[in-house]
Chains A and B, each alone.
Chain A
Amino acid sequence: MTHKQILLQNIHQPNQHTISGYESRGGYQTIKKVLRMDPAAVIEEVKASGLRGRGGAGFSTGTKWGFVPKNSGKPVYLLNNADESEPGTFKDRVLLERDPHLCIEGMIMAGWALQSNWSAVYIRGEYGYPFTRINEAVKEAYAKGYLGENIFGSGFTHHMVVHRGAGAYICGEETALINSLEGVKGQPRLKPPFPAVVGLYGCPTIVNNTETLAALPFILEHGAKSYTALGTEKSPGTKLFSVSGHVNKPGVYEIELGYPMEKFIYEDCGGIRGGKKLKAVIPGGSSVPVLRADEIKNVTMDYESIRDAGSMLGSGGFIVMDEDTDMVQVAMNVAHFYSHESCGQCTPCREGGHWIEKIFTRIHHGNGLAGDLELVNNVCGQIAGHTICPFGEALAIPAMSFIKKFPEEFKGLIKDSLVGINKKRELMHYEEIMGAH
């Protein structure tokens, strides 16, 4: 099936990343119109479009913009969060690499709506090639006068810089991103105050995902109505899904929200590799609960339907796993990622993350103990909701979901009782001592 392509329609054009290529296909036309609009009207239009943040939280973009205090006397900053680091997520990369001017145009629009004269693209450090592309695109835009002072003769000034991260997942969290941009350690800040009020350098700051910003040129060109015409009522528009795992055709797909999930896997993505059976799907990046194959029947790919199925749409990092997948190993892998990426600032995540990883590792190696699964669930409960940033939940919720959805696989590896393992340890210790003599 062919989907309406808003974001990806031009990515296969070989010169789309250049300003001439972008302009030859109608680029930088809508911005001229937008710069003649009242900024408040732009915000209203975006609100009306129902555009929701594509970074994971799915919060209404227009509403978020509305949180910026009016006439605070401070500059407003706009940040493009391109620190795409969630395992399974690689959608923004395509936009930055193949259509960087679309992102830039969207940022200028958001900049105008927020009356912000300064924006930054905070790009994941490992994204070397996308960095080169977006950086060159910004230079081109400056050279043509599309960035800088008096853009398109409107009198509006907008400067843009591209900043590379240093390899921390947590810097995708908006306040950690702001800290990192300021040059301090990338650790989330306490909220309140929220960045829309006190953000970068203590000034009002809006952090939007790359995909969110890239959707603005379409919305403002064709109007909110044509955007709401796509997708479902509560999840309008299209969304990028980065599909990885055991499908025949992995890659980045732009689909209308509300598309059936099974159809997506079996038709769009070409079905499961090697004709095997589907075992599980992680629909929104590694921080969301896993769904079993039997749970995705009748689920459509939008915020509400996936939520009702017990997971989250998240960032659209769509991971497909076939029947041969060892779910304990997956859980261990995910736990390893989160314990490694914990910023170490607050206690539950710093200490709990590693603890969970260690337990999963133990179980995976056949050293599970009776009561381990209850322990993991309990520890996860002690983490979730008690941390500075949502990282705690990102770590705890998927960990619990693996146990909940695939208990037999875990139990199959837990053979020893606590008493047994202690005896074994004692014996090993004894042998060690005896061996030394």
Chain B
Amino acid sequence: MTELVTITIDGEDHKVAKGMNIVDAAALVGVDIPHYCYHPHLSVAGNCRMCQVELNGRPKLEIACNTTASEGLKVNTHHTSKAVKDAQAATLEFILINHPLDCTVCDQAGHCKLQDYHYEYNARPSRFLEEKEHKVKAQPLGPTVMLDGERCIMCSRCVRFCDEITKTSEIGLINRGDKTVIAVDPKHPLSNPLSGTVVDLCPVGALTHREWRFNTRIWFTKQADAICPGCSTGCNVKVATRDGEVVQVKARHNAEVNKEWLCDEGRYGFMRFLPKKRITGVQVHGKAASLQDAAKALKGMQGEGTYVFIAPDLTTEEYRLLKKLKDTALKSAHFVLAYKERSLTDVEKVLISPDYAPNFKGALMCGLVEGNLQKNYEDALAAVIDGSAKQVLVFGDRGILASDASVLMTAAVGRASLTAFIGTDATHPLAEVCSVVIGARSILERSGVLVNRGLRVQYTDKVIEPPQDTVPTWKVLSEIAKVFVVALPAWISDRDVTLWYLAEEQKLAGMTIKSIKQNSLVIGDAHGN
């Protein structure tokens, strides 16, 4: 149990954990202390001077970020101290004297802390009449990130991230005074697997994604709070879309999961979950059919020779539905989750999980699969190859991982007596050979519950509208359930399914979509059981 101390912020007493940073403590009780350089998961640099506060009534202001909560500490912020207000306005005036006023063409405009704070804490015309310092413009720091030296406010967050988190130390601050600029050694560009994170950390528009520069103004986008479906870390992301296209992926702060980091694979590869050429409609033996017909065609999916391959990026609701089928109609079928581990470098280990399975813990939690997932998956693949799998049902593009969907494997699937593929990618080899093909939706096109490797229950929002003529996987499952006379409620939306699931699942008793979104709760023990 952490010791609590009483501190006074703007005249009000609050109980906070002893040793807590004052910026965080104030935020916790609803007082916003503006800051640029401070980040809760990086070391304290104290260089922006934006978070100055009055401590214990002393006339000399101190920075809140280098102060920790102790019994009886009295903090006065800009709400109650004129000196603090003046210091904030002064700091902003200083920062802006050499900052170009190019908001009209700056990608950060609209989500820029300098803009926000200027309106909130200064909003007066500059008294600076001299020539501004000129620095490097459009300087690539590496394959992913572009620097605009003039916009940089030297907060050193990117430098500290590369020093302290990835420990790759690519970025440094060179030169002195107002000639200071961030730079990389040309021989060692910023190229670590988390490099794009520095753009999220940059409070201004100095660092931008080379991938997404100048693509849209942020206020024209729709933003969704999603969970990255790349691996089981379950990083919280904010995805901006415009006209049905992803235009930027940002890390969302979650102290328990990804802090505010995101890997480049997840960020720049976010679109890989939305194939360019989609499977639409329902085909049975190459002919367009209704979903009901397709479900009827699957009636033969019974007995020992039935293998159900399940992608690791379905929602937990869908796993629950599959489990219902497993318990009732498809008792003798083999249910396998496509799970495979890979080796990671030290830098990747900072964030990335060694799997490609964002929700395998959800499948485990539902009791859908158990035991050694990778071995079961490999055994099932072997069963397909040797022909002992007579009926093959594949849920999701990653039901059989791309690396395993070889020509041999595809041919083997083609030889099975009854095969079905419920997926999204029309170029997927299985889409060619399966007798029943159903155009489903990507994880980015639906909302639902995902469970990460630490058994944290998280909710992902729908990022993008699904194309016409595709059906959600839960709908396919409920049609199959009808064929096998398994009773299920009639749903019309993802949300209905989630609500049904939350009522059904004992382990999540009392949780609502809202509470999951706010707190991202952990269930079970630390070992993931």
| A375: B residues at CB distance < 8 A | 127
A345 to B47, CA, bound (A): 6
Q: Quick one: which of A341, A342, A346 contacts B49, CB cutoff 8 A?
A: A346
Chain B's closest residue to A185 (CB) is: B173
Interface locus among A72-80, A262-270, A311-319, A354-362: A354-362
A350 B154 Cβ-Cβ under 8 A: yes
| A352: B residues at CB distance < 8 A | 94
The answer, yes or no, to whether B510 is at the interface (CB within 8 Å) is no
Known: A168-B176, A342-B176, A344-B175. A355 touches B49 (CB 8 A): no
- Interface membership of chain A positions 233-256, coded 1 if the CB is closer than 8 angstroms to chain B and 0 otherwise: 000000000000000000000000
| A351: B residues at CB distance < 8 A | 94-95, 97-98, 178
The answer, yes or no, to whether B167 is at the interface (CB within 8 Å) is no
Q: Quick one: which of A185, A190, A354, A362 contacts B178, CB cutoff 8 A?
A: A354
How many residues of A are counted as interface, with CB atoms below 8 angstroms from the partner's CB atoms?
30
Interface locus among A136-144, A212-220, A292-300, A381-389: A381-389
A84 to chain B, nearest CB (A): 19
A324 to chain B, nearest CB (A): 29
A190 B66 Cβ-Cβ under 8 A: yes
| A388: B residues at CB distance < 8 A | 46-47
- Interface membership of chain A positions 340-382, coded 1 if the CB is closer than 8 angstroms to chain B and 0 otherwise: 1111111110111111001100100000010000010000001
Known: A347-B49, A351-B95. A385 touches B177 (CB 8 A): no
Q: Quick one: which of B66, B94, B133 contacts A347, CB cutoff 8 A?
A: B94
Q: Quick one: which of B50, B90, B128, B177 contacts A382, CB cutoff 8 A?
A: B90
| A192: B residues at CB distance < 8 A | 66
Interface centre among A344, A347, A382 (most CB of B within 10 A): A347
B160 to chain A, nearest CB (A): 13
A75 to B380, CA, bound (A): 62
The answer, yes or no, to whether A61 is at the interface (CB within 8 Å) is no
The answer, yes or no, to whether B487 is at the interface (CB within 8 Å) is no
B49 A386 Cβ-Cβ under 8 A: yes
The answer, yes or no, to whether A119 is at the interface (CB within 8 Å) is no
The answer, yes or no, to whether B411 is at the interface (CB within 8 Å) is no
Chain B's closest residue to A352 (CB) is: B94
| B180: A residues at CB distance < 8 A | 344, 350
How many residues of B are counted as interface, with CB atoms below 8 angstroms from the partner's CB atoms?
37
| A369: B residues at CB distance < 8 A | 129
A344 B179 Cβ-Cβ under 8 A: yes
B427 to chain A, nearest CB (A): 51
Interfacial residues of chain B within 149-169, with CB under 8 A of chain A in the complex: 153-154
B177 A347 Cβ-Cβ under 8 A: no
The answer, yes or no, to whether B73 is at the interface (CB within 8 Å) is no
A353 B173 Cβ-Cβ under 8 A: no
B204 to chain A, nearest CB (A): 13
The answer, yes or no, to whether A339 is at the interface (CB within 8 Å) is yes
Chain A's closest residue to B179 (CB) is: A344
Q: Quick one: which of A185, A190, A341 contacts B177, CB cutoff 8 A?
A: A341
Q: Quick one: which of A190, A344, A346 contacts B44, CB cutoff 8 A?
A: A190
Chain B's closest residue to A192 (CB) is: B66
A359 to B129, CA, bound (A): 9
Interface centre among B45, B129, B130 (most CB of A within 10 A): B129
| B177: A residues at CB distance < 8 A | 339-344, 350, 353-354
| B129: A residues at CB distance < 8 A | 369
B46 A347 Cβ-Cβ under 8 A: no
| B66: A residues at CB distance < 8 A | 190, 192
B290 to chain A, nearest CB (A): 66
A348 B94 Cβ-Cβ under 8 A: yes
Interface centre among B130, B131, B133, B175 (most CB of A within 10 A): B130
B130 A386 Cβ-Cβ under 8 A: no
Known: A347-B91, A355-B97, A382-B90. A339 touches B178 (CB 8 A): yes
Chain A's closest residue to B36 (CB) is: A347
Interfacial residues of chain A within 318-349, with CB under 8 A of chain B in the complex: 339-348
A345 B90 Cβ-Cβ under 8 A: no
A353 to B180, CA, bound (A): 13
A347 B47 Cβ-Cβ under 8 A: yes
B47 A346 Cβ-Cβ under 8 A: yes
Interfacial residues of chain A within 106-158, with CB under 8 A of chain B in the complex: none
The answer, yes or no, to whether B197 is at the interface (CB within 8 Å) is no
A190 to B66, CA, bound (A): 8
A34 to chain B, nearest CB (A): 39
A120 to B50, CA, bound (A): 36
A428 to chain B, nearest CB (A): 14
B130 A387 Cβ-Cβ under 8 A: no
B154 A345 Cβ-Cβ under 8 A: yes
A382 B94 Cβ-Cβ under 8 A: yes
A170 to chain B, nearest CB (A): 8
- 21 A-B pairs within 8 Å (CB atoms) are namely A185-B172, A190-B44, A190-B46, A190-B66, A342-B176, A342-B178, A344-B179, A345-B154, A347-B47, A347-B48, A347-B95, A347-B154, A348-B49, A348-B90, A350-B177, A351-B94, A351-B178, A354-B178, A358-B130, A375-B127, A382-B87
User: Which residues of B are interface residues toward A (Cβ below 8 A)?
Assistant: 44-50, 52, 60-61, 63, 66, 86-87, 90-91, 93-95, 97-98, 127-131, 133, 153-154, 172-173, 175-180
